[in-house]
Amino acid sequence: MSQSEKIFGIHAVESYLAKSPERVKQLFLQKNRHDKKLQQIELLAKNAGLNFQPVDKRKMDDWVKGNHQGVIAEVQVCDAQLNENQLLALAEEKNDLLLLILDGVTDPHNLGACLRTADAAGVDALVVPKDRSASLTAVARKVACGAAEHVPLVKVTNLARFLTQLRERNVWVTGTAGEATEDIYQIKFSGANALVMGAEGTGMRRLTRENCDQLIKIPMAGTVSSLNVSVATGVCLFEMIRQKGLA
């Protein structure tokens, strides 16, 4: 699906100017702000034949919710598209499928960070329940740095049922829980896999947990009891692809 949307932040806008400058419709830079990062944005725009409009910081603050870092762009976004049925069909066809599933993650910053990590790890899709989940807002896009255009965000109606359908298609479902008896480095991963991450604090819901094939944890050597969900996602995903020989 293609739509026009305002994105903001140095990395998010820079990614569009470097990779898809033809999709940048308007570019706005903070008036009277001169630093190396914005100069790089100006250079990329100039090389792409794009003009920019200097705008007062107060007006830019009103346009978006979040730290715009002095740059906002109106762009044509083209998110990667995949629906629930298409993903189940893919699960039947792809022997090395890798999915990331977020259960109850409602912070758009965390969603964006997980999308970025999923893209780096070569994940086929990121799955979230339709309810109790963050949406792909401008804030999430800023953090994702363009990953939403490469990793489909699939919303499913009933997550527990979807996990059962994955398992019926020989996808091994691994959930993360602090009370798990085995850690990520004790488990052997191969074939098609789905990694389920729960919300910070509450973790996975009961039905989600019951529909996992196994539960694992990340060994913690310090005093903190848990990691941010996007950090934990990176640890688990890259261990999985290391074992599968994809890293």
Closest to 115 (Cα-Cα) out of 85, 146, 77: 146
Give the number of other Cβ atoms within 10 Å of residue 77's Cβ.
20
Q: For the CA atoms of 80, 83, 89, 94, what is the dihedral angle to 10 degrees?
A: 30
Query: Residue for token digits 């009103």?
Result: 62
Q: 223: which 2 tokens?
A: 């005093």
CA 97 – CA 164 distance, rounded (Å): 16
Q: 12: which 2 tokens?
A: 């998010």
Q: Which amino acid is at 1?
A: M
Distance of CA 246 to the CA centre of its chain: 19
Distance of CA 139 to the CA centre of its chain: 12
Partners of 214 in beta bridges: 174
198 is in an annotated binding site: yes
Closest to 209 (Cα-Cα) out of 164, 169, 240, 170: 164
CA 247 – CA 245 distance, rounded (Å): 6
Which residues are annotated as part of the binding site for S-adenosyl-L-methionine?
Answer: 198, 218, 227
Which residues are annotated as part of the binding site?
Answer: 198, 218, 227
